[in-house]
Amino acid sequence: MEMLDELFATIDWALIAPILLLQLVLMVVALFDCVRSDEVKQPKWVWYLVIIFINILGPIIYFIFGKDKG
């Protein structure tokens, strides 16, 4: 446990916090959009997995390739 405390003490949270916040905001917005959207290019469950498990890029991939333009 002490080793874990040392690890967290050495992390520069001023650099990591904005990235974590960006990831959270992108994920929440993409998930809400996917849930509310009637037309997506693949099954919604695929997009849920992409959005949740591919950090930062997953929501961006969804907004670029997942939404049906028509």
The answer to whether residue 26 is domain-embedded is yes
Q: What are the tens digits of pLDDT across the range 13-66? A: 889 999 999 999 999 999 999 999 988 888 999 999 999 999 889 999 999 999
The three-state secondary structure class of 67 is strand
The answer to whether residue 38 is domain-embedded is yes
pTM of the model: 0.79
Domains identified in the chain, total number: 1
Query: Which positions ≥6 away from 55 have C-beta within 8 Å?
Result: 23
In the DSSP assignment, the letter for residue 40 is B
Cβ proximity of 54 and 61 under 8 Å: yes
Give me the domain span that covers residue 36. Answer: 20-70
